[in-house]
Structure 1
Amino acid sequence: MEAYVTAEHSAEGIATITFFHPAQNSMPSALLQRLAATISEVGEDERTKVIVLKSGGERTFCAGASFEELASIETEEQGLAFFSGFAKVINACRQSSAIVLGRVQGKAVGGGVGLAAATDYCLATQHAAVRLSELLIGIGPFVVGPAIERKIGVAAFSQMTLNAATFYSADWAKEKGLYAEVYESIEALDAALATLARQLASYNPEALRQLKKVFWEGTEHWSTLLYERAAMSGHLVLSEQTRAAIAKFKA
């Protein structure tokens, strides 16, 4: 199957954005760029009252950024461009005037956790464990860190970051505030998500837009912060220790 990003509108004003990549939804730069642009375009569409952000497939919501592309980075400029991918998507969610609902049907790793954290309200299944594995290859979750820390707090973010090999359960993620609810199956998740989306779409759209501003107040500096963080990762990825770790992991 080929990678894609799609957007569909319902008559109720619910826009569903779906992304997919056959490698467990690990996202290359071009696909992240397309996803960010789609979120921005859909959010500006006057038909849109609520956005549902989801991925294709059942087992993995998002495995982060493309490891193959990561391993091919040779300059800091390339590193900055690569690590800016999730910065663009997070900022697109943050800056959208529409409420963004997250649908996390499976595991989320690295940037995938950042995507879940960038939504305004996130629902998941019991299979939606989370992990921040960046330290294993000599970098850190710098770009997605602000979004994750904003949702779960410094203590839980530090725990995830330093225990880089550990998957934390969906119930743990709910307890920390990343997920609002956790369901036993994808069917139950989709039913609850559809009910919530329709309910939100029936509310005063101006009230929702103003609430969105309130939710994200104090994050305006992310327009520069996340790219500064991307530059940090772009520098680290060229270090001898990180290159060795990437090569070992790839082998």
Structure 2
Amino acid sequence: MKPISTAGGPAQPPGRLRVQIDSKAFRSADGAATEVLRDIDFTLEPETFTCLIGPSGCGKTTTLRIILGLDRDFTGQVERAPQRPRMAAVFQEPRLLPWRTVEQNVRLALPAQEKKPQETPAGAPNLDALFGALGLQEMRERFPAELSLGLERRVALARAFAVMPDILLLDEPFVSLDEHTADRLRALLIELWQARRTTVLMVTHNVREAARLADRLLLMNGRPARLVGDVTVPVARSQRGGETLRHFLAELAAAHPETILA
């Protein structure tokens, strides 16, 4: 295993991410090794929005865990710029502390000197604007048990953007939501990303969702999983609800029928 690197070479723009996973294997209880990832190699440029797509169970979440540094048992390396980038993650479950209010859950992600509103220094992120953008102003003093799943997901997004990350990783953050709620949160995500530019890598198996949000699609499949496609979305954001996008998705599904679930 090569350690995750945040240094070396000339200075890189904030938010640049290089991922090289030569091999990743899991061991079963009897000691047998099963390789789950091989030859995963890609670079994300700063302030870009990329989706990693593939069937359930193909290793997308494992890839995110490696990038986050939660799994170091692999062969390869992850290079981040700057040396200590601010990273944030949004998982499938909101993972809110039930005994903390909405605002307290968001502030827990901040540096120590910014956790309490009365101690927030000048130049700290404006949580009023963030809560307003996500429609959470009236929810700040509520506890997670008082929220719908859609509102909990908004709190998770607020917590991620509150740290003003250089790199944001999302693991199917809208799964299990009804389509209306998911659509609203997708729109909010794009609004936040455009206002607070960060490098985004989002995992999903929903190709329509990916094509509406991202400008680049990384396709993963196989056993062990590999990257089988690297596709730029050729449709302007203003046209992603129309026939042009549907035509692109049909061509993509025809080219990658085992990866794209139309």
- Tell me the TM-score normalized by structure 2: 0.31
Give the number of the structure whose alpha-carbon radius of gyration is greater: 2
Greater strand proportion: 2
Greater helix proportion: 1
Higher relative contact order (CA 8 A, sep 6+): 2
- Tell me the TM-score normalized by structure 1: 0.32
